[in-house]
Amino acid sequence: MSFRLRALTVVFYAAAMAYVESAAVVYLQRAQSINPDHLFPLQSPQALGNLAAIEVGREAATLVMLATVGVLAGRRWVDRLAWCAVAFGVWDIAYYGWLWVFIGWPHSPATWDVLFLIPVPWAGPVWAPITVSLALIGFGLLAAWHVGQGTQLRVRPMGAALAVLGGFLVILSFTIDVPAQVRDAADLWHPWPVFLVGMALAAWAGAITLRGKSATGAAAVD
């Protein structure tokens, strides 16, 4: 399969999956009389009962599905990870795109959302996860393209360490204010300096990995 066809397959899968998930969210909101404009303050897991456990399971299943398509699309562990990143990024952006088509929400990139519940609630303005997703798509496609060209990407210890640290800071920026978000919605603030530092470190890690390559043979890319 050519690189272009592989990329289109992953993108279409992730966009279709986002459609299904956003539609399910709309159904659940209608069934539970949930207004997406009034998500904060967050409810505690105890108040949601078994719905919280079901939602956590659904999120875990989503990650498994996105990882599976990445594993199937790639041939080596590096491009499998790259395709996983592409699938996740497209799914995340398309999810918000479909919600906007269905119900006109989010109203703007500054709209706040509950992003994730594993292992604790994540929250932040929509522009933040979209920024992460765009970076995942960009670096993922570049890495997968290089591998498809017959290039061996070397993940160096420094690059791995920067990626882990950058990812940790990005996640921290989404979770650091969770106790305040649960108690009060009057003054939501995203710690964007922490987020930007994390993104910069992750981008540095991606650049190191893309530079640390060696040609191992040519591969045709249609």
What's the domain count of the chain?
1
Domain that holds residue 136: 3-215
Q: Read off the pLDDT of residues 180-200 as tens digits, 9 standing for 90 and up.
A: 655 555 567 788 999 999 999
Name which residue leads in pLDDT, 75 or 9. 9
8 within domain boundaries: yes
143 within domain boundaries: yes
220 within domain boundaries: no
- The candidate with the shortest Cα–Cα distance to 144, out of 200, 77, 89, 99, is 77
92 within domain boundaries: yes
221 within domain boundaries: no
Percent of the chain whose pLDDT exceeds 70: 86
222 within domain boundaries: no
CA distance 143 to 10: 15
For residues 117-139, give the mean pLDDT: 92
44 within domain boundaries: yes
18 within domain boundaries: yes
* pLDDT level of residue 89 (50, 70, 90 thresholds): very high
For residues 11-17, give the mean pLDDT: 97
* DSSP per position, 88-152: HHHHHHHHHHHHHHHH--S-STT-EEEEE-SSS-EEEETHHHHHHHHHHHHHHHHHHHHHHTTEE
